[in-house]
Amino acid sequence: MRQNRQFSRTLSIVLATLLCSIGARPAPAQSIGGNAELQARVQTLEARTEALQRELDSLRNGPIPLPPVGDTVPAGVSLDTMRAEMSKLTWKKGGFTITPYGRVVVSAVYETERSYPGDIILWAQSPDVQGEDAFYVDAKTTRLGLKIGGPSPNCCPCAALGACVEIDFQGQYLTHNKPGLLFRRGFIDMKDDDFYLLAGQEWEVISPLYPGNLNYVPGSGVGNLGYRRAQIRGDRYFKTPGGQKLSLQGSLNMDILQDFTTDTSVQADVAGWPVLEGRAAWQFARGLTEGAKPAEIGASAHIGEVVYDFLAPNPNPADDVTRRTWSFNVDVNVPITERLSFRSEFFTGENLSAYMGGILQGVDKQTRRSIRSTGGWFDFGYKWTPRLRSYAGYSIDDPFDQDLTSGRTYNHFYFANLLYDVTDKFMVGVDVSSWKTLWIDRRPGDLVRFDFQAQYNF
């Protein structure tokens, strides 16, 4: 690939020189004889043309030798350009291309009171349980992935067929320096300009945005609905003559029991039908101002059921207890200017623990009723310079108090940060957030959290 680019660059130089030669075409032969200087110039141009032709022939007949590692960058080629070209390198196997990618993330966190689980945050612990401050250094958010591209299918030669596998290190562990692997994403997909098909585990269709906070999953459990799950998905895109775009998305999803994961007296069962998700989004043709990207507004929903087995020593053991889960959601992404942007999501529904709603509470264990909840988030983003940017926002998750006999009844946080791209791939940032969580029969959790983070993407 690099040889072809070098060949194209050299060929362009050759053509440009030849055009210059034509532009400097000498006068007719009878006038040349009386001008020795002009005759010498013509001979020089002919010699250069012959030399360039020989070089062109050699390039066609053999590969271009590449400079060994450690040599200086060729004249006229910047180091950033060389790095950009290197980033495009892929592994090849038959007709497949395999592109590795990843992110190394290191966080240093100080919080004035304890959060749960700690190095990442979902809510503030009550001081009745743990009220002291804490400091963490964590690298478990580091992720690795492979993107795989293959030949287009015969049935749809215009579409790209591929796959993706991605992991991080936020799995179960006993000590912080021995984290477990976590399967994040793994799917097969096919796409072109008009449709997208996917089968596997990926971020779900509903509520596709997320706030600009530096937390592992920003806003989860505190207003940002949606997570990753196994699904069969199809998208269809329609473009109008005026440049607008309508997106219709739908998926069949596996039901998941998020509650009681450490309670052996409650087990998850499998429903007899999938969780249904859908979203419709409208993208405008132009931005609000010159230089701004087009805004997009979407509405999404899901409906399904979750099956519980309440085992002894529950006071009233029961098998195959089914509870409905549903949500209605709105998402808004509005670039106001080339530098300023606004994003927001709203949700309402019930039994939302598997969707990171209801402060991760879906069913009350004592009454076995589904827990209803409403919430959302918004943030503003601003680019101070091409490398310096900030986000500031607010997020809230507010379950219905009457649906709970224990646990968390309210959760919110404010945040603001400053992020700086040292290079195109290396970012450092400082994020400050203020959290408050209300509990039944416990004092509220109230903390301030300072998060310094470094990310190196490749």
Instruction: Summarize pLDDT for 425-447 with one digit per residue, the tens.
Output: 999 999 999 999 999 999 999 99
Span 31-37, average pLDDT: 51
Please give the Cα distance from 419 to 454 (Å, whole number): 10
Query: What is the model's pLDDT at position 10?
Result: 44
Residue 6: band (very low, low, confident or very high) from pLDDT cuts 50, 70, 90? very low
Residue 35: band (very low, low, confident or very high) from pLDDT cuts 50, 70, 90? low
| Phi then psi dihedrals of residue 201, to 5 deg | -100, 125
Contacts of 186 (CB under 8 A, 6+ apart): 163, 164, 165, 166, 200, 201
Query: What is the model's pLDDT at position 267?
Result: 81
| Phi then psi dihedrals of residue 230, to 5 deg | -70, 135
DSSP character for 370? B
Domain chopping of the chain, boundaries: 2-83, 90-457
Query: What is the model's pLDDT at position 89?
Result: 60
Are 190 and 197 in contact by the 8 Å Cβ rule? The answer is yes
Q: Which of 361, 392, 376 is nearest to 225 (CA)?
A: 376
Global pTM reads 0.77
Q: What spatial distance separates the first Cα and last Cα of the chain, rounded to whole Å?
A: 20
Residue 175: band (very low, low, confident or very high) from pLDDT cuts 50, 70, 90? confident
Span 373-391, average pLDDT: 98
Are 248 and 236 in contact by the 8 Å Cβ rule? The answer is yes
Are 32 and 39 in contact by the 8 Å Cβ rule? The answer is yes
Query: What is the model's pLDDT at position 52?
Result: 63
Q: Which of 306, 309, 407 is nearest to 358 (CA)?
A: 407
Please give the Cα distance from 30 to 49 (Å, whole number): 23
Contacts of 369 (CB under 8 A, 6+ apart): 363, 403
Q: Which of 359, 353, 371, 357 is nearest to 329 (CA)?
A: 357
Span 413-420, average pLDDT: 98
| Number of other CB atoms surrounding residue 390 within 10 Å | 17
To the nearest 10°, report the CA torsion of 363, 368, 369, 370: 20
Query: What is the model's pLDDT at position 19?
Result: 40
pLDDT surpassing 80 at residue 64: no
How many CA atoms are closer than 13 Å to the CA of 352, on its beta-carbon side?
A: 34
Per-residue exposure over 74-85, b if at least 16 CB sit within 10 Å of its own CB, e if not = eeeeeeeeeeee
Q: For the chain, give the longest Cα–Cα distance.
A: 117
Residue 14: band (very low, low, confident or very high) from pLDDT cuts 50, 70, 90? very low
Question: If you compute the radius of gyration of the chain from its CA atoms, what whole number of angstroms results?
Answer: 30
Instruction: Say what percent of the chain tops pLDDT 90.
Output: 66
pLDDT surpassing 70 at residue 76: no
Query: What is the model's pLDDT at position 55?
Result: 58
Query: ∠ at Cα 55 (54, 56), nearest 5°?
Result: 90
Span 42-61, average pLDDT: 61
- 235 versus 269: which is more confidently predicted? 235
Query: What is the model's pLDDT at position 266?
Result: 85
Q: Which of 176, 236, 181 is nearest to 205 (CA)?
A: 236
Query: ∠ at Cα 210 (205, 215), nearest 5°?
Result: 130
Query: What is the model's pLDDT at position 57?
Result: 57
Span 160-189, average pLDDT: 93
Please give the Cα distance from 228 to 191 (Å, whole number): 20
Q: Which of 456, 392, 450 is nearest to 422 (CA)?
A: 456
Contacts of 343 (CB under 8 A, 6+ apart): 209, 211, 331, 332, 333, 334, 378, 379, 381
pLDDT surpassing 80 at residue 319: yes
- 105 versus 35: which is more confidently predicted? 105
Instruction: Say what percent of the chain tops pLDDT 70.
Output: 81
pLDDT surpassing 60 at residue 226: yes
Please give the Cα distance from 138 to 177 (Å, whole number): 8
Span 39-50, average pLDDT: 68
Per-residue exposure over 117-126, b if at least 16 CB sit within 10 Å of its own CB, e if not = ebbbbbbbbb
- Round the average pLDDT of the chain to a whole number and report it: 86
Span 258-272, average pLDDT: 82
pLDDT surpassing 70 at residue 353: yes
How many CA atoms are closer than 13 Å to the CA of 82, on its beta-carbon side?
A: 12
Task: Report the relative pairing of strands 275-283 and 296-310 from DSSP bridges.
Answer: antiparallel
Fold of 90-457: Porin (2.40.160)
Alpha helices in 155-246 (DSSP H): none
Please give the Cα distance from 421 to 414 (Å, whole number): 23
Span 158-165, average pLDDT: 94
Position 306, amino acid? V
Are 211 and 226 in contact by the 8 Å Cβ rule? The answer is no
pLDDT surpassing 60 at residue 188: yes
SS3 36: helix
Please give the Cα distance from 66 to 258 (Å, whole number): 55
| Number of other CB atoms surrounding residue 402 within 10 Å | 10
SS3 176: coil
- Which tokens in the block code for residue 354? 């598997």
